[in-house]
Amino acid sequence: MRDIYKEYREKSISADEAATYVKYRDRISYGESVLFPEVLDEALSKHIYMLKGIDLRGARFPKLPKVVEVDPDHNHVVMNDWQCTGIYGRLKNDETIRDIPLCYHQAPRTIKKYHDFDVAFVKVSEMDKNGYFNYGVANSLTNAILAKSKCIILEVSKSVPFCFGGCKELIHISKVDFIVEGNHDPLMEFRSDVPQDADRRIAEYIMKEIEDDSCLQMGNDSVSNLISQMIVESDLKNLGIHTELLSDACMDLYNAGKVTNGKKSVDQFKMTYTIANGTKSLYDFLDRHPECASYPANYINNPRVIAANDKVVAMNKASEIDLFGQVCSSGDDKQQTGAGGQLDFILGAFMSRGGKGIIFLNSTYKDQEGHLRSSIVPCLNPGSIVSVPGPMIQYVATEYGIAQLKGKTTWERADELINIAHPDFREDLIRQAEAMRIWVMGNRH
C-alpha cells in the first residue's frame, strides 16, 4: 500500500528551492484567480533577475504578480492572461500584460492541443486521507494545464475550501513533483460595486423574464446581486444554478430556499459552476458542500450542456453594443476584459427549451474626460473587442427597457436598441442609423 504521508514528506521543499526549477525561457503557469500562488510568486521574484524570456501565463490574475512587479521594464518576464479581468484593464496600456483570446468552453481543449508548460505553480487544498489535493474554487482550466505541465509544484493552503466536483477537481500526490507549504492567508475576496438607480431598473426588467423552474447563470456584479435580492423577496421557486462564475448571489438564493436544482435535467439537485469568486462566506459555504459541484470549463460552458436544462436564463454584463447588435467588452477603444463565457451562455440559453440569453448594460458611461457617452453606438470603434456577434443576441436590457432582437431585420434591431438608449442620445442615433442606411423614418409606417 502506498504511504502517501511519506511521499508528501519526500516531495516537500521550500518555496525558494521550488523557484530554482524555473529555467531560462521557461513557460510557467500560475493557478487561477483567487488561488494565486502567493508564496511561490514571492520566491520566484527573488530569482527572476537571473532569468530571461520567462512566459508567465494564468487565468483571471487577481493582482499584479510580484515577479512582474520587480521587473518593470519586462527584461525577464512577460505576463499573459487566459481570461483577462480587472487587472488586465488597468495594466494593458503599459504593456505589462497580454491577453490570450479564447472561447471559454474550448479553452481546456485549446490548452491540450497547443500548449505545453515547463513549470506549473498551483495553490490547492490540503491533502485528504486518500492522497488527493483539491483545486478548490478554480476548476475551469487547472486540470488541462497540469496535464500539459512537465513539473507540477503545489502550494498547499488551509484556506482553500475542498470543493466537491463532477469531475477533474482533484490531483493525486503521485502526479505531483513537489509540494510547498503556503502561508494559509485568507483567500482574496471579491465584492460587487454599490448598485445605482440604473442598476435597479435594469434588474426590474430582467426579473420579468425569470419564471418558476428557471435555471440561472449570473455573475458577481451589482445587477446580478440586485436580481438575487429581488428573487429572495419574490414568489419565484424551484430555481436551478448552472453558471460559469458562482458568487455570493447564488449562495444567497440557495440559503433562502429559492434554489433547489430539482427541476434541472442534468446535474439534478446540484449547483454547478467552474469557478467561484466572492466573500469568505462563499468559500466557507462551498467547503465540502454536497449540493455544489465544480467542473472544468469545457463542461460548464459547453452550449449543449447548458441547453440540456430547460428555461435557462443567462444574464451577462456588457459595456457597449452597436446598432447591429454586436456586444463589446469595453466602453471605448481599450479592452477592459476578456470575452469569457458570454458567447457560450448566450448560445446555450437560446438553445434551451424556454431559455433566454440576456445581455445587460447601463445606457451611458463617462469617458476619461468625464463626458457622458452612450453605451449604445451606431457602430463599434476601431479596436473594440467583440464578445458576442450580433446575430447571436437575443435580449438586451438597459435601465430604459428590454429588447428582443432575434429574428428581426437590421432596421428593426436598430429601432429596438434606440428605444432603450438614453433619451439624450436617441435623436443622434436615429440620424446616424439613417446615414448608415440601417434605419429610415419610413420603416415605422
Q: Which residues are catalytic?
A: 244
Rg (the chain; Cα; Å): 23
* Other Cβ atoms within 10 Å of 22 Cβ, number: 25
Calpha distance 70→65 (Å, rounded):
9
Question: What whole-number distance in Å separates Cα of residue 201 and Cα of residue 419?
Answer: 15
What end-to-end distance do the CA atoms of the chain give, in Å?
A: 81
- Residue 427, burial from CB neighbour count under 10 angstroms (0-12, 13-18, 19+): exposed
What are the backbone dihedrals phi and psi of residue 389, each rounded to the nearest 5 degrees, phi first? -65, 150
399 C-beta neighbours (distance < 10 Å), count: 22
Q: How far apart are CA 161 and CA 288, in angstroms?
A: 7
Distance CA 392, CA 180 (A): 46
313 touches 358 (CB < 8 A)? yes
Where does residue 340 fall: left (phi above 0), alpha (psi -120 to 50 degrees), or beta otherwise?
left
Distance between CA atoms of 391 and 356, rounded to whole angstroms? 15
Residue 365 Cα distances to 129, 305, 362, 429, angstroms: 52, 35, 7, 16
Distances 123 to 39, 58, 133, 144, 341 between C-alpha atoms, Å: 9, 12, 10, 15, 24
Residue 189 in contact with residue 213, Cβ under 8 Å? Answer: no
Q: Could you tell me the three cell numbers for 80?
A: 499573459
C-alpha angle 191-194-196 in degrees, rounded to nearest 5? 150
